[in-house]
Structure 1
Amino acid sequence: MNVKVRKRYHLKKKKLREIKEGLGDYAGIIPDRATVEILETDDENLILVDGRPMVMLIDDKPFPTLKGALGTEIKKGYVVVDMGAVRFLANGADVMSPGIVDADPMIGENDTVIVVDEKHRKPLAVGISLMSGPEMVEKDSGKAVKTIHYIGDRIWNLEV
């Protein structure tokens, strides 16, 4: 599955500033001297930093892609899964509550989250929470996170 590109253009400084503000703790993934472009696709729009997809826009809210998150420390909006869940996430599965060992207690329903593994704390997927952080850890059945981007998907493999 390839990404169908509709438009590609450089970001204006004002829009870039808005995106950096929206990224909060992750603003560092867009260095000051980088070439920053927007890639409008049929699905979500992507922000290219020096030609690499580092940010995706979900409902016009910026969020780091997995490649963007790899270079930063994930302090907020994280969901930690046990190692048994890793192979399922690598195939694009949603995150189920039984596989969650920890989650940011500040996560609310419909928040965008980064799913990491418990051993290395490396990002595996980006998703939308279906329940609060404490609920994810407490429950022992059901979906907790709807996966929207994972290692090995079309965004991860995007070559520009």
Structure 2
Amino acid sequence: MTVKIRKRYHIKKKKLREIRGQIGDYSSLIPEKATVEIIETDDNNIILVNGEPLLMFIDDRVVPTLRGALKMEIDRGYVVVDMGAVRFLANGADVMSPGIVDADPEISENDTVVVVDERNRRPLAVGISLISGPEMVERDSGKAVKTIHHIGDAIWELEV
């Protein structure tokens, strides 16, 4: 599956200030003098920073893409999964509680999270938490994170 681009344009300064205010921890992905554009697609709009897809819109929130997550230190909003979960996540599966070995205790329900593997701590997916961080680690059944973007999907493969 490929991303069908409908429109591409530069972001106005006022809109860029709004986005920077919204992304909090991820604001380091947009340096001061960066060229910032929006790509409108049939699914999710994507924010290009100097030609790279580093952020995207999911509903009314701005979240990092995996390429964006790879460019930063992930010390908040992380979910660590065991190596057995990696192949399922690469196919777009949601994160199940039994596969979680650690999670940021500050995570609340409906937060944006970056899912990383336990061995290399490399981002595998971006998702929305369905339960709190401590619950993710404690539970031994059920979904913990709804995956919205994963390695190998159309956004990961996007070449602009």
Q: TM-score, normalised by structure 1?
A: 0.96
Q: Equivalent residue for 1:100?
A: 100
Q: Equivalent residue for 1:85?
A: 85
Gaps of 5+ in 1: none
Gaps of 5+ in 2: none
TM-superposed CA distance for 1:28, in Å, is: 1.1
1:68-108 CA-partner distances (Å, limit 9, x unpaired)? 01010112111110111111111111111000011111211
Q: Equivalent residue for 1:68?
A: 68
Q: Equivalent residue for 1:118?
A: 118
Aligned-CA RMSD value:
1.0
TM-superposed CA distance for 1:159, in Å, is: 1.0
- 2:94 corresponds to which letter in structure 1? D
| Count of matched residue pairs | 160
- 1:36 corresponds to which letter in structure 2? V
Give distance in 2, aligned partners of 1:110 and 1:5.
Answer: 28
| Aligned structure 1 segments of 4 or more residues deviating by more than 2 angstroms | none
Moved more, 15-24 or 47-56: 15-24
Q: Equivalent residue for 1:42?
A: 42
Give distance in 1, aligned partners of 2:37 and 2:154.
Answer: 18
> Does the residue aligned with 2:25 lie in a helix, a strand or coil?
helix
Give distance in 1, aligned partners of 2:101 and 2:17.
Answer: 36
TM-superposed CA distance for 1:60, in Å, is: 2.4
Give distance in 2, aligned partners of 1:48 and 1:71.
Answer: 14
Give distance in 2, aligned partners of 1:16 and 1:60.
Answer: 15
